Structure 1
Amino acid sequence: MARGIEIREAHFPGRAPIEAYGNGGFRFADMSHRGSILCLPSGIYGWDVTGDTPLEASLFDKVLRETGEIEFLLVGTGLSIRPLPGDLRTALRAAHVSSDPMSTGAAVRTYNVMLAESRAVAAALVAV
């Protein structure tokens, strides 16, 4: 029996700086990903969010499962800054995680600096 193409969740199993962003995606670890990404202690994941997607706490479930290893969450909200939902901010505060929404470009730059400093940082980055 022939098997079709298997579509798997996009995942890079490690931490890596973001080498480039724009044109609807990101480049890291000599690879490229089209679309938004989550950069977590467990790796970099594809994230099904666009600049038009309402930011809801449920979109951050994967982040909340790793809060024991995260002190800072940078949220790149696209070209413009959008506020984080109140229930997400409350959940992050309860887990002792500082969160900061900013443009995606600023979040990428800040993430790279904090990662280079070996800080406990994660990023949720909306593709631009």
Structure 2
Amino acid sequence: MTDRIVIDLDRDGWTNSLQLNMAQLDENDTGCGYRLHGPKYNGSSKNLIRHVLDERDANEIRQMLDAVFPPKTAAELETLRARVAELETAAYGDTTVRLLDPVGQIRHLHDALAAQMARAETLDRLLREKQRTEAREGAS
């Protein structure tokens, strides 16, 4: 069996409130989803209804979404990509981090953090030296 999209209606065990979510599941019924309504999931929910979306469902939903939320144009997408690259460069020093696997991303961020810590230690050392110099000049 391949991945599939489901819409679940659950009842929260703590609040007795309804929860509605859409999830992408694999053959082991594991995956990730998006809660559309109700309290956050806390592990106490009981599934009331599960509907597995088929191609017809997907096409109908896609048409409704596109009618209200039209897809971005190529120019809009390029502007968004450029902004993401700009933010990544500001945050990480370059845009290659998003091309890495999760372990690679963690290593990259660790290296970036280590470099920032080294810069902070250097600035701290320079500030202390300046303060000592100013204190000696003030004492004379």
Q: Same fold (TM over 0.5)?
A: no
What TM-score comes out, normalization by structure 2 length?
Answer: 0.18
Which has more radius of gyration? Answer: 2
Higher helix share: 2
Greater relative CO, 1 or 2 (CA 8 Å, sep 6+): 1
Higher strand share: 1
